[in-house]
Amino acid sequence: FIGEPDPSEGIGLEADTDVDADADADADTDSDADSDCPEPDFDLGSELGANIGSGNTCFGEDDFAKTCGGIPGPDLAYSWTAPYEGAFQIDLLGSEFDTVLTIRSACPEPVEIECNDDFQLNTSSGVQRNFAADQPVVLVVEGFNINCGLFQINIQELPPDAFAPTDTSEP
């Protein structure tokens, strides 16, 4: 029968064995780990370039809080690791709606590092900052207020003298 789970794969057949009573089997033992540190939806690795990630936030959920850009709405999150120490621009230029970009430290202690609503006189969002080599971050794409739509993520290296050095250590 097409669509029936294969018992050898175990899909959909295990009971929920963790203590937080959701539909997954977490390896953790605390009851609220999923809400304390939501995982990114996608991994960008250490890619650089134009349109290295794209999506539609209308299909996302509101998993991450933001400190700019109005009321919460659906978001999508991408993990990214700086390929080397340097200054980078991460932006959503080319997106089709009024975006908000939040840069967060990676789990287990996620903290908002920066939040931007409008970048370079545009309703798309972006940040320019220094990163340490192999620094993992989570890029959260959301809309201004509850706007949603199609977006693209662009990440490019900036010249070393693009702006004053900032602290690259994670909060």
pLDDT tens column, 86-114: 999 999 999 999 999 999 999 888 899 99
Rounded CA gap, 111 and 107, in Å?
9
pLDDT-derived band at 2, boundaries 50, 70, 90: very low
Per residue in 127-154, pLDDT (tens digit) is 999 999 999 999 999 999 889 999 999 9
Of the candidates 85, 65, 67, 83, the residue with the CA atom closest to the CA atom of residue 75: 65
Of the candidates 109, 87, 89, 98, the residue with the CA atom closest to the CA atom of residue 141: 98
pLDDT-derived band at 9, boundaries 50, 70, 90: very low
Rounded CA gap, 57 and 43, in Å?
16
Q: What value, to the nearest 5°, has the Cα angle with vertex 10 and ends 5 and 13?
A: 75
Cβ neighbours of 85 (radius 10 Å) = 12
For the residues 21-31, what does the mean pLDDT come to?
41
Q: How is residue 18 written in tokens? A: 């963790």
Strands 42-43, 75-81: pairing is parallel
Domains, the chain, with CATH or none: 1-36 (no CATH), 38-157 (2.60.120.380)
